[in-house]
Structure 1
Amino acid sequence: MSGGSTKRYSADELRALAQRGQSRTDAARILGHSEEVLERAIANDPDWDDMPEDWHARAEAVMPRPKVAVSIRLDADLVDQLRASGRGWQTRVNAILRAWQDAKKSSAA
């Protein structure tokens, strides 16, 4: 991050900004820069130091696999524990099953 200022907002402030149609970013400042200024800023960004010039030519779009809704019976305590882990618990179940499947494939090879 550059030496600019960072403003913090509470969730309530962000909701109020959204209701008023205001952005949390200074898009006008960014959009006001010339292509040359933006290219120079990218070139000076330390996060891009080791990025090859042609990275985008070799980049490959990776589309997420479509999910399928299923209904399964699980032990109540297991579901309670997963739900208690918070938002995204079903995604974590998917990751657990994926890891199990990958481990099973590895051990079979």
Structure 2
Amino acid sequence: MPPAEPLSDAFKDMGDADIERRAAADPDAGSIPAGFWDEVDAVLPEGKEQITLRLDAEVLRHFRSTGTGYQTRINAVLKSYVRAQEKRR
């Protein structure tokens, strides 16, 4: 997946009132009921472990060509593979 386009200056300059108005007009945006976060337990994501990994030059070249965050994308592909294998069991 290519990196997202940078935010425009007009978007960055939007005030809270503009943001609220746009969110209210979005049919896909739902409202969060009062007290929703009052009883929530925070769950921290599992940490990552640093390793040394040897990859084919072609694979590394492909992911590096996608720009910043290529290691995260490699991780996402591997995680997807693991989940698919777990479903097969």
Q: 1:50 to 1:81 in 2, by over 3 A?
A: same
For structure 1, which runs of at least 5 residues remain unmatched after alignment?
1-6, 10-23, 31-41
Greater C-alpha radius of gyration: 1
For structure 2, which runs of at least 5 residues remain unmatched after alignment?
1-7
* The 10-residue stretch of structure 1 (88-97 or 59-68) with the greater mean CA deviation from structure 2: 59-68
For these two proteins, the number of residue pairs brought into alignment is 72
Structure with the higher fraction of residues in helix conformation: 1
Which residue matches 1:8? Answer: 9
Deviations 1:19-40 (A, max 9, x none): xxxxx898xxx8xxxxxxxxxx
**Runs of 4+ residues deviating >6 angstroms:** none
Within a 5 Å distance, the mapping from 1:8-47 to structure 2 comes to: 8=9, 46=24
Which residue matches 1:37? Answer: none
Whose relative contact order is higher, 1 or 2, with alpha carbons under 8 Å and at least 6 apart? Answer: 2
Q: For the aligned residues, what is the CA RMSD?
A: 2.9
Which residue matches 1:72? Answer: 53
What is the TM-score when the length of structure 1 is the normalising length?
0.53
